[in-house]
Amino acid sequence: MKNTQLISENLRLINYLYNKNLAKELSSIKVNHHFEVLLILAQQKGPITQNKLAELLHVDKSRVVSIVFSLEQRKMLTVKTNPADRRQHYISLSPHALLSIPYIEKKVKEVNELANTGISEEKLDTFFEVAEAIMQNLTKNKH
């Protein structure tokens, strides 16, 4: 790789192609590409705050507000205001979304298998190790 080539170019293309395939596979579920939000919420032990969701998604809170509003309009999320602090909202999956999770997980597995086709387990492990190392390098405080 040339030193001047942005790593993000390849990562952005992989992200685009991966999400395009996933959106195609999950086109019957109308959630505007927000499958990751549903999967993250399905992994939680109970409702979480919008701030916690923003942290888990690595996006700012204003973006989460927009996503939550969109998914709530589609009856995929329930949002409840904390009576002790009306500024705080708890988010959880709706019963309808809970029924969709196994299907979403199945389609994610299928797209992952497609993405991994022809790549050895060893190379995949190396890819994830390198990706983790890059993330660690970029998040270190360097003075």
Pairwise CA distance, residues 83 & 90, whole Å: 11
Fold exhibited by the domain 7-139: Arc Repressor Mutant, subunit A (1.10.10)
Given a cut of 70, whether residue 143 has pLDDT beyond it is no
Task: Calculate mean pLDDT across residues 104-128.
Answer: 95
Q: How far apart are CA 101 and CA 29, in angstroms?
A: 10
Which token pair is 120? 């050895």
* Residue whose structure tokens are 């329930």: 78
- Confirm if 49 and 89 have CB atoms less than 8 A apart: yes
- Domain layout of the chain by residue ranges: 7-139
- Helix (H) or strand (E) run with residue 120 in it: none
Asked if 81 and 88 touch (Cβ cutoff 8 Å), the reply is yes
Q: Report the pLDDT averaged over residues 74-85.
A: 87
Backbone angles phi, psi at 139, to 5 degrees: -100, -5
Q: Is the Cβ–Cβ distance between 94 and 75 less than 8 Å?
A: yes
Average confidence score pLDDT of the chain: 89
Q: In terms of pTM, does the model score above 0.75?
A: yes
Greater confidence, 85 or 26? 26
Condensed to tens digits (0 to 9), the pLDDT of residues 25-42 reads 998 888 768 889 999 999
